[in-house]
Amino acid sequence: MFQDILVTGLVNGSAYALLAIGFSLIFGVARIVNIAHTAFYMLAAYFLYAALVQFGMGVVLSGVLAVVSVTLLSLVCYRLVIEPVRQHEAAVLIATIALALIFQELALRIFGGSYLGIPSAIEGVANVFGIAIPWQRLLILGVAAGVLLLSWFLLYRTRLGLAIRATANDLEVASLMGMDVNRVAMATVAISVGLAAIAGVSVAPVFVVDPFMWLAPLVTVLSVVVLGGLGSIKGSVVGALVIGYVEAITVFVLPQGAFLKGAVALSIMVIVLLVRPEGLFGVSFEEER
């Protein structure tokens, strides 16, 4: 059981980290609470299924196709739906909820409501320090680590990253310094949804794929992001691992734990909001709390 907790927590935690960073970025830069974030993750899993199982393309090609097409789709959605209503905070919220519902219903219509299985990219089980771990889970870990490193490089070592962090820090001042905040927002949307799509593609063979698979991770990502601090990259990673392990412990140790794992993660979120609303690594702005 101890090994199970160790592996499950790490794998789920890294998938949550991919989702949470994107969610946190888009909130920081554009102040959009993107309810459709995990719906893009769900879409990526379905696109992978279509390319891999229905059209019989290769694993790598299908994965890349799924990530690229979901990212492009997100940009189209942003331009057509979110940007026209950016001035109205409530309207943005509803627009993202409506988008998520539309994706869910489209997936339901096209692929049906049943659980779909996707073959693993690499079959078989690896033996690490006497613990049997399926290769696919190790792959998730590798992908997550690589992508996290890449996004760290992008955010902290490039001019675009500087612009994104500056906009997240203070939108008006960034705009005054001559940054095109709309284009920064577009780039952030692409990066954020791209990360979600990568998460969707890599976990699809391990988790079940169904049209409602976006709701549970959405709730978890919210608690991760709040725990780590909204807008903080480091916080999202640490928060994701903490929540991943807490969920794994709840499921394996408590009776009826599978029902309680969401409740436990959310209780952590509520406690963090009450005790330290800026989260573990977030910066506190008095007027934004």
Partner 1 sequence: MLPSRTLALAWVVAVVLLPVVVPDPYVLRVAAMTCIFAGFAASWDLLAGYAGQVNFGHALFFGAGAYGSALLSLRLDFPPWIAVATGALIATAIGLCVGYLCLRLRGSYLSLATLAFPLILIGLLFAFPDFSGGELGVTGLRSLASSRIGNYYVAAGAMLVLVFGTWAFADSRFGLILHAIRDDELAARASGIDTTRYKMAVFAISAAAAGISGALYAHFMRGAGPSTLETALSFQVVIWGVFGGLATIYGPVIAVFVLYPLTEWLGSFSAFGELRLLIFAVVVLLVLLFMPRGLTPWIRDRIETRCPRCKQQNPAWRGACRVCGAGLHVAQGGPLQRSG
Residues lying near partner 1 in the complex (CB under 8 A) are found at 27, 31, 33, 35, 81, 84-85, 87-88, 90-91, 93-95, 97-99, 101-102, 104-106, 108-109, 215, 219, 222-223, 226, 230, 256, 259-264, 266-267, 269-270, 273-274, 277, 288-289
CB of 43 vs partner 1, minimal distance in Å: 15
> Within the chain, how many helices (H) and strands (E) appear?
11, 2
CB of 37 vs partner 1, minimal distance in Å: 13
Nearer to partner 1, 106 or 128 (CB): 106
Residues 179, 168: Cα–Cα separation, whole Å: 12
Tokens of 97: 């909820």
Nearer to partner 1, 102 or 206 (CB): 102
CB of 39 vs partner 1, minimal distance in Å: 11
Nearer to partner 1, 108 or 173 (CB): 108
- C-alpha torsion sign, points 149, 151, 152, 158: positive
The candidate with the shortest Cα–Cα distance to 202, out of 110, 118, 128, is 118
Tokens 């229905």: give the residue: 54
Nearer to partner 1, 72 or 106 (CB): 106
Nearer to partner 1, 149 or 270 (CB): 270
Nearer to partner 1, 7 or 264 (CB): 264
Could you tell me where the beta strands, DSSP code E, fall in 70-196? 125-128, 131-134
What end-to-end distance do the CA atoms of the chain give, in Å? 40
CB of 68 vs partner 1, minimal distance in Å: 25
Tokens 């500056």: give the residue: 166
CB of 91 vs partner 1, minimal distance in Å: 5
CB of 251 vs partner 1, minimal distance in Å: 12
Residues 136, 143: Cα–Cα separation, whole Å: 10
Strand partners, 71: none
Whether the CB-CB separation of 16 and 219 falls below 8 Å is answered with no
Nearer to partner 1, 4 or 105 (CB): 105
Whether the CB-CB separation of 69 and 5 falls below 8 Å is answered with no
CA 9 remoteness from chain centre = 16
Tokens of 55: 């059209």
Tokens of 223: 């608690």
